[in-house]
């Protein structure tokens, strides 16, 4: 005869394993990290645990745990009052991350060039087509999302989980500043052959060095536009024009 559970059994049942508080904390952690990578969160933006919890539909405690975890990893910052916010990116830090991205993503592209299939290349073409469509329509939030999709698909094709993890961590730090790409209404890649297309051409030719050069150039062009914007913000005029950070 089956016995009744005493409430502590965590084995699989009708609804799968029991959902723990740690599981909710991990889900919140992943959601916030993803928002950082995808430029949904902006530099200086405050993260109020209650508001984040309401958006995610969970209690405050796992959200607070995930915010503290991200702050300990320096993906988020915390002031003396315990307020958590997205760190501001300085010009120096921006150029450091940009240069590291060029090195690591360049290596990933070179490796991918020797491994990709025709279907992999077709996937990159579809992603870039979505990027071009949304960028042309000035739907910049979606364009940034598809840009990220392209870069991470390329890294995935390198078949190196360690390298993928390094790139992901760099994007978590760099992602919020990508919103500056279209901050002034400019389009950094307009009028030139986009770096994504040069990457795709190199992959078709299985030319590792051409792929490395193409993705590095793509990162350099986008990074230079962000650096210019940060230099404006760090100038006396830019600092005087900045208002208090928004919150979520």
**Residues lower than pLDDT 70 in the chain:** 1-22, 183-191, 237-247
Q: What is the pLDDT of residue 45?
A: 94
Q: What is the pLDDT of residue 95?
A: 93
Specify the CATH number of the domain 22-85: 1.10.10.10
Residues carrying CATH 1.20.120.530, the chain: 91-236
Q: What is the pLDDT of residue 5?
A: 46
Residues carrying CATH 1.10.10.10, the chain: 22-85
Distance CA 67, CA 183 (A): 27
Neighbouring residues of 34: CB distance < 8 A, sequence distance ≥ 6: 40
Distance CA 7, CA 228 (A): 58
Q: What is the pLDDT of residue 13?
A: 52
- Looking at the whole model, is its pTM more than 0.85? no
Per-residue pLDDT tens over the stretch 7-59:
444 444 555 554 466 689 999 999 999 999 998 999 999 999 999 999 999 99
Using CA atoms, how far residue 135 sits from 138, 173, 187, 248, in Å, is: 5, 23, 8, 26
Specify the CATH number of the domain 91-236: 1.20.120.530
């Amino acid at each position: 005869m089956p016995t009744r559970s005493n409430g502590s059994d965590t084995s699989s049942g009708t609804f799968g394993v029991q959902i723990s508080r740690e599981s909710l904390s991990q889900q919140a952690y992943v959601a916030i990290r993803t928002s950082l990578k995808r430029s949904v969160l902006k530099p200086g933006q405050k993260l109020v645990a209650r508001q984040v919890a309401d958006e995610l539909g969970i209690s405050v405690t796992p959200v607070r745990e995930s915010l503290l975890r991200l702050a300990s990893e320096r993906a988020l910052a915390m002031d003396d009052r315990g307020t958590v916010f997205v760190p501001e990116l300085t010009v120096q830090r921006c150029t450091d991350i940009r240069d590291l991205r060029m090195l690591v993503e360049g290596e990933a592209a070179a490796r991918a060039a020797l491994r990709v299939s025709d279907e992999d290349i077709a996937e990159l073409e579809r992603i870039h087509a979505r990027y071009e469509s949304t960028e042309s329509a000035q739907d910049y939030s979606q364009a940034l999302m598809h840009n990220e999709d392209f870069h991470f698909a390329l890294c995935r094709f390198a078949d190196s989980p360690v390298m993928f993890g390094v790139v992901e961590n760099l994007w978590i730090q760099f992602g919020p500043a990508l919103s500056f790409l279209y901050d002034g209404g400019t389009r950094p890649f307009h009028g030139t052959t986009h770096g994504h297309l040069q990457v795709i051409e190199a992959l078709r030719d299985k030319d590792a060095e051409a792929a490395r050069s193409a993705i590095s150039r793509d990162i350099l062009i986008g990074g230079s536009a962000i650096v210019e914007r940060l230099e404006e913000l760090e100038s006396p005029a830019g600092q005087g024009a900045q208002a208090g950070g928004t919150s979520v």
